[in-house]
């Protein structure tokens, strides 16, 4: 099976978001990745509900929302109502993890849990049976355009091993510094959903760059 590619809207030209969305659609990209930051959980503020709502009106693409916010539970229903198809929140946030997973599922949305680079893989193990996806951050969350942290691939490997052991088919998403080279390390370790911002948006040929990411297969 091919990898899925989720394009990070953080790298898009916000003034021309509609044409950016068309470009992503025409490049055969699978999902739009929405990085929502509250300036407290991470040292940056991005965008939120109105932008998601506007994009949802303009496209049928899967909307993959990554909440980097302190209290995700409080906002689940609104992100679901505004068009989220997948909601990822952080195990390091202040919300109760199981309650938040249940709130996401009650809205008919796919539930995903993320860990930052310094959080051990074990932090997600007990939640795996309830999750559609795990997001292993491959940079410190907060900004696009950072370099991939190679040590994070060991956590991808451990989580994939655990998923297999439990007989689940949970997706593993990686996010941060993904390009043709780092995608190979992530896929070798067991990732199958690749978030990419600067690499895709800076590519001369976005479709070619995205197809390249989709076609990466484990080389070890
Ligand atoms: C970082 C975000 C990422 C980021 C990825 O906090 O979660 O989604 O936009 O961008 P690149 O691919 O440029 O590292
Ligand atoms: Zn993200």
Question: What pLDDT was estimated at residue 1?
Answer: 85
Task: Report the candidate in 169, 160, 162, 191 with the shortest Cα–Cα distance to residue 178.
Answer: 191
60 catalytic per annotation: no
The CA distance from 82 to 122, in Å, is 32
Cα-atom radius of gyration of the chain, to the nearest Å? 16
Question: What pLDDT was estimated at residue 27?
Answer: 97
DSSP H or E segment with residue 113:
strand 110-115
Which of the listed residues 9, 116, 142, 195 should we mutate to test ligand 1's pocket, taking the one with most ligand atoms within 8 A of CB?
195
Compute, in angstroms, the gap from residue 6 CA to the centroid of ligand 2: 9
What are the tokens at 42? 């991470």
Which atom of ligand 1 is nearest the CA belonging to 10? 9
The CA distance from 12 to 63, in Å, is 15
Question: What pLDDT was estimated at residue 153?
Answer: 98
Q: What is the DSSP letter of 175?
A: E
C-alpha dist (Å) from residue 95 to 174, 179, 182: 22, 32, 32
Compute, in angstroms, the gap from residue 128 CA to the centroid of ligand 2: 20
For the Cβ of 46 lying below 6 angstroms from any atom of ligand 1, the answer is no
What are the tokens at 86? 């997948």
35 catalytic per annotation: yes
Compute, in angstroms, the gap from residue 39 CA to the centroid of ligand 2: 15
Which atom of ligand 1 is nearest the CA belonging to 177? 14
For the Cβ of 65 lying below 6 angstroms from any atom of ligand 1, the answer is no
For the Cβ of 136 lying below 6 angstroms from any atom of ligand 1, the answer is no
DSSP string, 138-168: SS-TT-SSPPP-GGGHHHHHHHHHHHHHTT-
Contact 23, 206 (CB under 8 A): yes
For the Cβ of 176 lying below 6 angstroms from any atom of ligand 1, the answer is yes
C-alpha dist (Å) from residue 162 to 124, 126, 129: 10, 10, 11
- pLDDT, tens digit only, all 220 positions of the chain: 899 999 999 999 999 999 999 999 999 999 999 999 999 999 999 999 999 999 999 999 999 999 999 999 999 999 999 999 999 999 999 999 999 999 999 999 999 999 999 999 999 999 999 999 999 999 999 999 999 999 999 999 999 999 999 999 999 999 999 999 999 999 999 999 999 999 999 999 999 999 999 999 999 6
Residue identifier of the C-alpha nearest atom 6 of ligand 1: 141
Compute, in angstroms, the gap from residue 117 CA to the centroid of ligand 1: 13
Contact 140, 116 (CB under 8 A): yes
For the Cβ of 11 lying below 6 angstroms from any atom of ligand 1, the answer is yes
* Residues present in the chain in total: 220
- How many angstroms separate the first and last alpha carbons of the chain? 16
Compute, in angstroms, the gap from residue 16 CA to the centroid of ligand 2: 20
The CA distance from 23 to 26, in Å, is 5
């Amino acid at each position: 099976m091919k990898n899925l590619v989720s394009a990070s809207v953080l790298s898009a030209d916000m003034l021309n978001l509609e044409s950016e969305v068309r470009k992503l659609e025409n490049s055969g990209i699978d999902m739009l990745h929405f990085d929502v930051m509250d300036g407290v959980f991470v040292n940056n503020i991005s965008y939120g509900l109105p932008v998601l709502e506007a994009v949802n009106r303009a496209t049928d693409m899967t909307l993959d929302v990554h909440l980097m916010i302190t209290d995700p539970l409080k906002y689940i229903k609104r992100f679901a109502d505004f068009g989220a198809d997948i909601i990822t929140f952080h195990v390091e946030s202040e919300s109760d993890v199981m309650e938040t997973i249940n709130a996401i599922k009650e809205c008919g949305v796919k539930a995903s849990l993320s860990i930052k680079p310094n959080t051990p893989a074990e932090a997600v193990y007990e939640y795996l049976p309830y999750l559609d996806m795990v997001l292993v951050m491959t940079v410190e969350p907060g900004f696009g355009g950072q370099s991939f942290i190679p040590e994070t691939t060991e956590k991808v490997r451990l989580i994939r091993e655990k998923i297999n052991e439990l007989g689940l088919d949970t997706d593993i998403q990686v996010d941060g510094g993904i390009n043709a080279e780092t995608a190979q390390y992530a896929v070798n370790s067991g990732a199958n959903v690749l978030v990419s911002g600067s690499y895709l948006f800076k590519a001369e040929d976005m479709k070619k760059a995205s197809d390249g990411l989709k076609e990466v297969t484990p080389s070890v």
